[in-house]
Structure 1
C-alpha cells in the first residue's frame, strides 16, 4: 500500500491520469497527496473564517512539542529519491512535496487533525452563498529575496496553477470549482476567488490540502525551483542533488524566524524504503520524511526509535461495476461486503494503522461523518441469504489491481473463499492498470471489479464528486443515483454544520445500501524518528513536513 495519500503522492495512477488529462481533469491523487478538498468539514472551516492576524501559525497545535528542546543545530532526514522534479507547480511525489514545503508556503496550513490554520492568509470569508471567497493576507511578509508578498503575487500563483499549459496537479482539485480567470485582487492585501458554484470547503483548496497551491513570486518560471528556490517559508534551499539529497539553512527573513529551533536541515535520498529504514536504525539519519507502517511499526520503541501515528483518509477502493453481471443486483454487492473481515484487513494490510471503513466515503476523520450508521461486519449467514435473494448459486468474479494493492487483493480472495465466493486475481503492472484510453478502456475504470488506491483528502467531496456522482470523471463503478447527486450538491453549498451533517448522512446511507464501492478501512499515517535526537516531529495524514516546532533534544 502506498505510503501517501496519492501513491507517494505520485502513484502510477497519478501519472496515468495526468497523461490522459482533460483540460481540467487532472490526476488521480492517491496516497498522501492529498491534493484535494478538505477533511475537517464545515466546523473546521467555520472556525477558521474570520480568524485574526494573531491566529495560530502552521504547527501551532503542536507548539509545545518543541518546548524544552535546545535551540540551534541541524537534523538529518531520510527520504526516497524523488521521482518527479522539485517544482511546486508540477510535483506530485511525497519527497518533493515535503522539501518544497520547507521553502514555500500556502495561504492556509492543514494540520494533522485536518484543522485549517492561518499561514499567509490570516482570515477568509465567503459571500454570494459561498460562490465568492476573500482572503486577507498577513502583513509584513517578504520572500527570501526581500520581495514583499501582496495580493497580485498570490493571484499570479493561482493563475499559474489554473493554466492547463503548466500541467499542474492542482487542476484536479479545482475541477468544477475554480477555473482560469476566477482570481482577482481587492487592494494590496486581499485576494478574491470567484467560484463556478457554491463550495463551502473552498479554503481547503488553497491550503496544504492542495499540495501544489503554494504561493510563489509573480515572475516564477515552472521548472526553475531547484536552481533558484525563493519562498516565504522557514528555510532556504542551499543545495539540491537529485541523486544524493538536499540541504537547507534558516531563512532570516521568515516572519517567525526567532521562534525556529533549527539552524538547518539535511536530507539524504535513499534508493528504497528498506535502505531508508536501515539508515534510521544505524543512526545515519535522525528521522524519516516518509515512513511505511509495515516497516516501522514493528521496531517502535527499540533503539530509541519512536513512531508517531495519525488517522487519515487514504483508502483502497474495492470497486464493483453496477452495470455488469454479477454486480447489477445490489444484493450481490452487499453479500461481498458482508463477507469481509474488516478488522483483519486493517491489521493485515495497514498494520493496524487506521480505522474501519463502512462502505461509504465520509471518513470518520471528517467532521460530518455519520455517527449512527451501523458498522457492517462479517456475516456468513447474511452472505448466503443475500446471494439466495439475488438468485445466485455460485459467485465467481475477477479482481483487477496493480502491485501496491496485492496484499489487499490476497486478503479479499482469502476472506471471500471462506464463504464460498471465488475470486480470480488479475494483477497488472501499474502502467497497464492505469494506462489505455481514460475515457473508454483503462483497466482501473473499466474492469468489472478492481482495487484503486486513493490519496487522502481533507473533505469528502473530492472522493464523492469524481468517484460516485453520476458521470463522475473517475466513476469506475458506473454508479448513478439522483438522490446522492442532489445531496452532494447540497453538501457543497451548505455552510451550517448541521445541514452538512444531514446531507453527508444521505450520501453515506445511499452508498452503504447500494455498495458501488467497498471501503474496508481508512489508512492512517506514521512517521519514525530517533527520540534521543529529535523532539516535536509529528506524523501527518498526507506526510506533510512542518519543522517550525521541531528541535534537537
Structure 2
C-alpha cells in the first residue's frame, strides 16, 4: 500500500513550508475543468494541430534560442514508468507524449490519439491513433506500442505509480488492439471519465516503444517536441529540437537546458540574475514578490490540490456529527487560503467537488468561522470542552499551527503531534499507519483529474485510503452513479448529492484548494505558463 503522495499524483507543493526536496516530490497537481463528457467527445472527434502561435501573446512563434530552466534534481531515476517527482516528469514530458494532454484549463487535448469513443455504457473505450506519428528513432507509433505501454503500467512488477490510478477501473489484460491504429480498453466497471486516466493527468501514461526496457536517460526515445541529448543526475539535462516532430512546425526553440539546484534560494537567485529563464517548480511565496520587478513574470493558475483534515467518525469525540461540524465552523477559510495557499486557489467547503470540476455544485452555503455556532454544536453533542490531537508530517506544519490557532479562538484545544514523513506514512497500512488511523490528521493530496479519484479512495465505504473510517450507503450509491453517468445533467445531480452528504456529515474538512505558479523572464520569452500540475509544454515557447 502507498500513501497519496506516492501514487500516481504526488502531493501539492503550494505551501510555504515545503523544503526543496519536498517541493520536487510533491510539486505536481492535477485538476480538471472544462467541458462535460459529451462535449469533450464531440470536440475530440475532430483532429488537428494547434495553430502556430505562442501561448500567451497569440503571435507567431519566433524560431531559435535555448530556454534555460531551473529545477531540483530528481530524487530517483528518470523513468517514465515509475517517476513521481516534478523534475523527472518535466524531463519526460519534453521527450515523450500521451494519448491526450491536459491543458492549463484541464480540457482534454488530442495528442497521439486523434479521437475516442465509448460503448457498453462507458465500460469499453476505443481510441483512434493519429496517423503518421513516429518515435524519434523513426519507428511508427502503432496500436501495439500503445498496448505495450499500458500493459507495462498494469503489471505489478513494474511498480508503476500509475497502477493505483487504474485500481477497480482497468485490470491487466484489459487492453487490446484492432489493426495498427485502434486501441480498446475493456474496463472493470463503467467509468465515463476514463479519457482522463490515459491523459497527462495520469502522468506515467506516456506512450513508449513496445520494447522499452528502462534506462530512459541513456536511450530516451519518444514522440515529443525535444530529444534528450545528455543527462547528469547532479547538474541537469540538455535537450534539442526534434526536427521530425509531428505537430505543425513546433517546437520553436532550438533546445532546452535544465539546470539542477539543490535549494530554493539558489534556484531563485539564478532566475533573478539571469542564469536561468524559468523554473520548472516555482514556489508562490518566493516568486510572487518578483512580479513587480518588470523582468520576472509570475503566471498563476488555480488547481485541485488539497490538504485534507480527516476526522475518525468511528471514535469519540468525532463519532458525533455535531463535533465534526463544530471543527468545520471553527476555521476562517479565507485566512487559511491566504496564509497557507498564498492566496492562489479557491475556498473549500468540506466536500470533494472542487470549484474547478465542471459538476461542482453552486448552491451549498459556504462555511465560515462562527464561534457561536461552534458553541451550540458542541453543547448539543454533550461535549462543551473539545480537545483533540492533530497528527501530521513536516510539510503540513504551518497548516497544523494555523488550525490550532484558529480553533483556539473558538474554544477548541488542539494538541499538535508532528511525525517524520517516514513515520507518518509508515507502519501497517491495513491497521496502524498514522495517516490512516490517528483520530485526526492532515494529509496532502495532489489534484486529481476527476473527482472520482478523490471520492473512491477517500470516503467510500471501506475505501483503501479512508482515514476517517466513514461509511455512507447513500454516498456510495451516488458515487457509483456519478462514475457511470453519461450526461452533464446526470453528473451534476450525483455530484450535488455527494457534496451535500459530505458537507453535512463532515468526515473530512477542506478549507482550501491550492493553485500553482510559474516564474519566467518575461522580457526574453513568450508562451511560458503555469500549469495546475506543474506540467511543462515548451513546444510553443519562443524568444521575443
- Tell me if 1:438 matches 2:429: yes
User: Residues 171, 49 of structure 1: CA spacing in aligned structure 2 closer, same or farther, 3 A cutoff?
Assistant: farther
Task: State the match for 1:16 in structure 2.
Answer: none
Task: State the match for 1:157 in structure 2.
Answer: 149
Counterpart-to-counterpart distance in 2, 1:528 and 1:275: 14
- Contact preservation (8 Å) 1:49, 1:125: no
Instruction: Name stretches of at least 5 consecutive residues in structure 2 with no aligned partner.
Output: 16-24
Task: State the match for 1:20 in structure 2.
Answer: none
Counterpart-to-counterpart distance in 2, 1:375 and 1:230: 49
Task: State the match for 1:15 in structure 2.
Answer: none
Task: State the match for 2:442 in structure 1.
Answer: 451
Partner of residue 173 from structure 1, selected from 160, 165, 180: 165
State the secondary structure of the residue aligned to 2:68: strand
- Contact preservation (8 Å) 2:345, 2:515: yes
- Tell me if 1:367 matches 2:367: no
TM-score with structure 1 length normalisation?
0.93
- Tell me if 1:460 matches 2:451: yes
- Tell me if 1:90 matches 2:82: yes
- Contact preservation (8 Å) 1:44, 1:115: no
- Tell me if 1:265 matches 2:260: no
Task: State the match for 1:32 in structure 2.
Answer: 28
Give the C-alpha shift of residue 256 in structure 1.
2.2
State the secondary structure of the residue aligned to 1:322: coil
- Contact preservation (8 Å) 2:38, 2:487: no
Task: State the match for 1:532 in structure 2.
Answer: 523
Give the C-alpha shift of residue 543 in structure 1.
0.4
Give the C-alpha shift of residue 248 in structure 1.
0.3
State the secondary structure of the residue aligned to 1:124: strand
Partner of residue 10 from structure 2, selected from 6, 23, 26: 6
User: Residues 282, 45 of structure 1: CA spacing in aligned structure 2 closer, same or farther, 3 A cutoff?
Assistant: farther
Counterpart-to-counterpart distance in 2, 1:133 and 1:30: 31
Counterpart-to-counterpart distance in 2, 1:166 and 1:316: 29
User: Residues 499, 356 of structure 1: CA spacing in aligned structure 2 closer, same or farther, 3 A cutoff?
Assistant: same
TM-score with structure 2 length normalisation?
0.94
Counterpart-to-counterpart distance in 1, 2:44 and 2:366: 37
State the secondary structure of the residue aligned to 1:65: coil
User: Residues 32, 523 of structure 1: CA spacing in aligned structure 2 closer, same or farther, 3 A cutoff?
Assistant: same
State the secondary structure of the residue aligned to 1:325: coil
How many residues align structurally?
528
Partner of residue 424 from structure 1, selected from 415, 429, 433: 415
Task: State the match for 1:102 in structure 2.
Answer: 94
- Contact preservation (8 Å) 2:53, 2:60: no
Task: State the match for 1:43 in structure 2.
Answer: 36
State the secondary structure of the residue aligned to 1:226: helix
Give runs of aligned pairs for residues 191-340 of structure 1, distance below 5 A. 191-222=183-214, 224-256=215-247, 258-340=249-331
User: Residues 334, 31 of structure 1: CA spacing in aligned structure 2 closer, same or farther, 3 A cutoff?
Assistant: farther
State the secondary structure of the residue aligned to 2:523: coil
- Contact preservation (8 Å) 2:303, 2:516: yes
State the secondary structure of the residue aligned to 1:180: coil
State the secondary structure of the residue aligned to 2:36: helix
State the secondary structure of the residue aligned to 2:217: coil
Task: State the match for 1:379 in structure 2.
Answer: 370
Counterpart-to-counterpart distance in 2, 1:60 and 1:492: 37
Question: What root-mean-square deviation, in Å, do the aligned CA atoms of Structure 1 and Structure 2 show?
Answer: 1.9
State the secondary structure of the residue aligned to 1:525: strand
- Contact preservation (8 Å) 1:42, 1:495: no
User: Residues 148, 68 of structure 1: CA spacing in aligned structure 2 closer, same or farther, 3 A cutoff?
Assistant: closer
- Contact preservation (8 Å) 1:121, 1:137: yes
- Contact preservation (8 Å) 1:315, 1:521: yes
Counterpart-to-counterpart distance in 2, 1:355 and 1:83: 31
Instruction: Name stretches of at least 5 consecutive residues in structure 1 with no aligned partner.
Output: 12-28
Task: State the match for 2:536 in structure 1.
Answer: 545
Query: What whole-Å deviation, never above 9, does each CA across 1:102-126 have from its counterpart, x for those lacking one?
Result: 0000000001111000000000000
Query: What whole-Å deviation, never above 9, does each CA across 1:460-480 have from its counterpart, x for those lacking one?
Result: 000000000001100000000
Partner of residue 128 from structure 2, selected from 108, 113, 136: 136
Task: State the match for 2:22 in structure 1.
Answer: none
Task: State the match for 2:110 in structure 1.
Answer: 118
- Tell me if 1:189 matches 2:181: yes
- Tell me if 1:55 matches 2:48: yes
Counterpart-to-counterpart distance in 2, 1:45 and 1:215: 25
Query: What whole-Å deviation, never above 9, does each CA across 1:67-114 have from its counterpart, x for those lacking one?
Result: 255311101000011112100000000000011000000000001111
Counterpart-to-counterpart distance in 2, 1:500 and 1:330: 27
